C-alpha cells in the first residue's frame, strides 16, 4: 500500500448521491465497503466528512443566519454524517470510533491526538467530526489540521470529480486535468481545490494531498495501490 496512515476527507455533498438533500444509504454503504477493504490491508484511516448535504454555515450566513451559529449548525451536520458512516462501517464489521471536536458524550468521544493515534494504531477507523470545533473554519481546514496532528502520510480528498482541472469540469467541457500540481500553482492559478487556510497548512507541513473520485467504487483501493487515478498536490 502506498501510504501507512491516511486522512480521508469525504464531501458532504457526495453523501446525497442521487438525492437533492440528506444521506443516500447506498452511497454511504459504498464508502464503507471501500474503507473496509483498505483498512483490512493494515492501513490506518482517519476520516473527516463535510456537512454540505445537510447545512453549510457560509451559505446560511448569506440567508441571514448569524455566521457563528450557522457554522455551529454546520459542525453538527458533520456529526450526523459521521454517525451515518459509523453505522455503515458497523454493518460491514469494520471497527470504528467517532471523535468529536466539541464535547457531546455519549454521541462521540471528545477528540485528543493521543486518543486518536491510539485508536488508529489498534486498527480502528477513526472518524473526526465537528470540524475544528471553531466557527470560521471549514472541514477542509479541519481535515488538514487532523491529518497533521495524527502525522498522516497524506490527505486523500474524495470528491465527485477525478482530480484537479484547469476549470470546473462540470461547467467547462474544455477543462484539462492535472496529474500533479504544486501548492504554489494552486495559489497562482486561483484553483478552488480547498480553502486557502487548508492549502497553506498542508504546504507548511509538507503534507501531500491526493484528489480523486471516491464515488466510483474501488477507486480508494486503486489509489492506495499506486495507480494514477487522481491529482497529486505536493
- CATH topology (fold) of 5-233: Carbamate kinase (3.40.1160)
Of the candidates 212, 208, 165, which has an alpha carbon nearest to the alpha carbon of residue 190? 165
| pLDDT higher than threshold 90 for residue 168 | no
- What Cα–Cα distance (Å) separates residue 232 from each residue in 152, 179, 223? 15, 6, 11
Query: Do 144 and 207 meet the contact criterion of CB atoms below 8 Å apart?
Result: yes
The reported pLDDT for the residue numbered 169 is 86
- Break the chain into its structural domains and give their ranges: 5-233
Q: What's the pLDDT at 209? A: 98
pLDDT of amino acid 145: 98
Rounded to an integer, the average pLDDT of 20-44 is 97
127 has which bridge partners? 47, 98
pTM as predicted: 0.95
**HSE-up (13 A, CA, CB side) for residue 78:** 31
pLDDT in tens, 120-133: 999 999 999 999 99
Task: Give the model's pLDDT for residue 57.
Answer: 80
pLDDT digits (tens, 9 = 90+) for 170-220: 889 899 999 999 999 999 999 989 999 999 999 999 999 999 999 999 999
The stretch 136-158 carries a mean pLDDT of 97
- Output the pLDDT for position 174: 93
pLDDT tens sequence across 46-75: 999 999 999 988 887 888 889 999 999 999
- In the predicted structure, residue 110 carries a pLDDT above the cut 90: yes
- Say what the pLDDT of residue 62 is: 85
**Which residues lie below 8 Å from residue 106, measured CB to CB, with a gap of 6+?**
none
Amino acid at each position: 500500500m502506498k501510504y501507512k496512515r491516511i486522512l480521508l476527507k469525504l464531501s458532504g455533498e457526495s453523501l446525497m448521491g442521487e438525492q437533492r438533500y440528506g444521506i443516500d444509504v447506498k452511497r454511504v454503504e459504498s464508502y464503507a465497503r471501500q474503507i473496509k477493504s483498505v483498512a483490512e490491508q493494515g492501513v490506518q484511516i482517519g476520516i473527516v466528512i463535510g456537512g454540505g448535504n445537510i447545512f453549510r454555515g457560509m451559505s446560511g450566513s448569506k440567508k441571514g443566519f448569524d455566521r457563528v451559529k450557522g457554522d455551529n449548525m454546520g459542525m453538527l451536520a458533520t456529526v450526523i454524517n459521521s454517525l451515518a458512516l459509523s453505522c455503515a462501517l458497523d454493518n460491514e464489521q469494520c471497527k470504528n470510533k467517532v471523535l468529536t471536536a466539541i464535547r457531546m458524550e455519549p454521541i462521540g468521544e471528545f477528540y485528543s491526538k493521543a486518543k486518536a493515534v491510539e485508536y488508529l494504531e489498534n486498527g480502528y477507523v477513526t472518524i473526526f467530526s465537528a470540524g475544528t470545533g471553531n466557527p470560521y473554519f471549514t472541514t477542509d481546514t479541519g481535515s488538514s489540521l487532523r491529518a497533521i496532528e495524527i502525522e498522516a502520510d497524506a490527505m486523500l480528498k474524495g470528491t465527485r470529480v477525478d482530480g484537479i482541472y484547469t476549470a470546473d469540469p462540470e461547467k467547462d467541457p474544455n477543462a484539462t486535468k492535472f496529474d500533479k500540481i504544486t501548492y504554489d500553482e494552486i495559489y497562482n492559478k486561483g484553483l478552488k481545490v480547498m480553502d486557502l487556510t487548508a492549502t497553506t497548512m498542508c504546504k507548511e507541513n509538507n503534507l501531500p494531498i491526493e484528489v480523486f473520485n471516491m464515488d466510483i467504487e474501488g477507486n480508494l483501493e486503486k489509489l492506495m495501490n499506486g495507480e494514477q487515478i487522481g491529482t497529486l498536490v505536493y
